[in-house]
Amino acid sequence: MDMKTDFFRLAEELLGLAQGDEVLLLNFAGEATDFVRFNQSRVRQPGHVHQRYLCIELIDGQRHAGARITLGGGHHCVNGQDESVDRPHAAAVVGLLRSRLADLPEDPHLLYNDQPQSTDQEGENHLPDVEEVVDQVLSAGAGRDLVGLHAQGGIYRGFANSLGQRNWSATHSFNFDWSFYHRADKAVKCGYAGGNWRATEFSTRVDTAVAQLALLGTEAQTIAAGRYRVYLAPVALADFVGLLNWGGVGLKAQRTRQSSLLRMTTDGVRLHHSVTLMDNTRAGVAPNFQAEGFLKPDHVTLIDAGAHADSLVSPRSAREYGVPTNGAGAGEGAESLDLAAGDLPAEEVLQRLGTGVWINNLHYLNYSDRPACRITGMTRFACFWVEAGQIVAPINVMRFDESLFRVLGDNLLGLTREREMILDSGSYGGRDTSSAHFPGALVEDFNFNL
């Protein structure tokens, strides 16, 4: 199963179907993933998913039509010629799209890259034997309550157009996302992701988690609603700031006045000077090309030293608002969100927190007042009450409702010097290639309301 060969073979066969001034854009997304789900240190559902999708966009002037189809993959001999097995179906779809163009008006916001820029990112495959990983996980879970998902395999993205551009991205990665449960809703959330599984590294992570698990043995405290000094660990802060990907950082949201950061451009709201946020494609793991063939710059600075900087601009927004695109996808969200480190040493966080709440994880975030960039959500997993710089006890879950303008503004006491690289374990439709590189944040007057 060679997805790259299959895709480019099919692409060559399809791109020749463009007639006259027609332009064809092809986007490929494939993966071959083993998913093993665990609960109570047992195997819940083990399996494998092999999927290949092709998006075909046929453009004639300013008219265009698109279709997404599944591919079987492979090739066979037809009349003595080696041909992709998917050619007949895909070619028929091109014909259908051509027939639809007559029913479609010209699209004033159509924009695609007509300056071919070919790239090839082929990651090495050092993935472990998945059955050996399962054995290690089951061993780690012995005598404990382990629940989670191990995913591993290749993730493939390709682009080709009839103008001669070819792009390819292949990564071979694993992502074991799991929790050790103490009881009820008290657990330590863990993760181990990358390309090269090392049993010793996994064992170290297990030992670290087990040590944290011991902290959950103390009877949980229920804190009253109110304002507290808190430490948001990198994963929690990435979740909080990550909500900006939902209508916060895109140009369309800005221009239609719906951006949660609107007050930074209309009312002069500024964040703390230590806050610099970017979509850092170069440091992430997502492909550096997008559906219309534009390449992404190494990074786009969204907030620079507390001030609003650039927005993510999709090709459609670029055409609609008359500005250059910076390679964003249609959703105008950052795939490699990167918050600059601060100068707070991690080993001083507990002492600087003093009395307050240590938050390792958040859950189910949503805007409660979008223009005010006010976000509600829950604490989750191992969060602790801290007194005089010492962890006292886990807390029962609390609801927060707080503005990002305050958390990363006047109430921000510091960002940690150390950052954590967080590889997204999401798999809606397919395995996610998003990532976040975040420090932790010490924040005062953080509002818990329930």
- Within 343-372, the residues that bind other proteins by CB under 8 A are 363-372
Q: How many residues make up the chain in this entry?
A: 450
Tell whether residue 181 is a contact of other proteins (CB under 8 A). Answer: yes
Site track 92-121 with other proteins (rule: CB under 8 A), x = hit: -x------x--xxx-xxx------------
3-state secondary structure of 390: strand
Nearer to other proteins, 183 or 273 (CB): 183
In this chain, which of 266, 351, 355, 390 binds other proteins, going by CB under 8 A?
266
SS3 content of the chain, % helix, strand, coil (to 5): 25, 45, 35
Of 132-161, binders to other proteins (CB under 8 A) are 134, 138, 145, 147-149, 151
CB of 358 to other proteins, least distance (A): 18
Q: How far apart are CA 425 and CA 431, in angstroms?
A: 7
CB of 19 to other proteins, least distance (A): 20
> Six-digit token pair at 16?
């020749």
Residue type for 214, please? A
Distances (CA, A) of 163 to 15, 54, 115: 9, 18, 8
Tell whether residue 246 is a contact of other proteins (CB under 8 A). Answer: no
Nearer to other proteins, 13 or 321 (CB): 321
In this chain, which of 204, 256, 355, 390 binds other proteins, going by CB under 8 A?
256
How many alpha carbons fall within 13 Å on the CB side of residue 176?
Answer: 27
Tell whether residue 374 is a contact of other proteins (CB under 8 A). Answer: yes
CB of 423 to other proteins, least distance (A): 15
Nearer to other proteins, 98 or 417 (CB): 98
Residue type for 188, please? V
CB of 64 to other proteins, least distance (A): 7
> Six-digit token pair at 391?
């962890």
Nearer to other proteins, 93 or 300 (CB): 93
DSSP code at position 245: G
**Hey, CA dihedral for 29, 191, 346, 394, is it positive or negative?**
positive
Tell whether residue 226 is a contact of other proteins (CB under 8 A). Answer: no
Of 205-224, binders to other proteins (CB under 8 A) are none
Nearer to other proteins, 156 or 442 (CB): 156
CB of 354 to other proteins, least distance (A): 27
Tell whether residue 53 is a contact of other proteins (CB under 8 A). Answer: yes
Stretch that binds other proteins, among 117-125, 181-189, 332-340, 342-350 (CB under 8 A): 181-189
How many residues touch other proteins under the rule CB under 8 A: the total is: 87
Nearer to other proteins, 319 or 352 (CB): 319
> Six-digit token pair at 209?
């988690």
Question: What is the H or E stretch that residue 75 is in?
Answer: strand 75-78
> Six-digit token pair at 171?
């990564």
Q: How far apart are CA 191 and CA 209, in angstroms?
A: 10
CB of 298 to other proteins, least distance (A): 28
Tracing tokens 């066969």 back to the chain, one arrives at 13
Tell whether residue 267 is a contact of other proteins (CB under 8 A). Answer: yes
Tell whether residue 91 is a contact of other proteins (CB under 8 A). Answer: no
Q: In 39-69, which positions are buried (b, 16+ CB within 10 angstroms) versus exposed (e)?
A: eebeeeeeeeeeebebebbbbbeebbbeeee
Of 378-397, binders to other proteins (CB under 8 A) are 378, 380, 397
Of 56-75, binders to other proteins (CB under 8 A) are 64-74
Nearer to other proteins, 175 or 301 (CB): 175
**Hey, CA dihedral for 403, 408, 409, 411, is it positive or negative?**
positive
Nearer to other proteins, 105 or 324 (CB): 105
CB of 415 to other proteins, least distance (A): 25
E-only strand ranges, 211-279: 226-232, 277-279
In this chain, which of 17, 85, 111, 323 binds other proteins, going by CB under 8 A?
85
Of 188-207, binders to other proteins (CB under 8 A) are 189
Tell whether residue 44 is a contact of other proteins (CB under 8 A). Answer: yes
CB of 383 to other proteins, least distance (A): 12
DSSP codes joined into one string, 167-225: EEEEEEEEEEEEEEEEETTEEEEEEEEESS--HHHHHHHHHHHHHHHHHTTSPPB-PPS
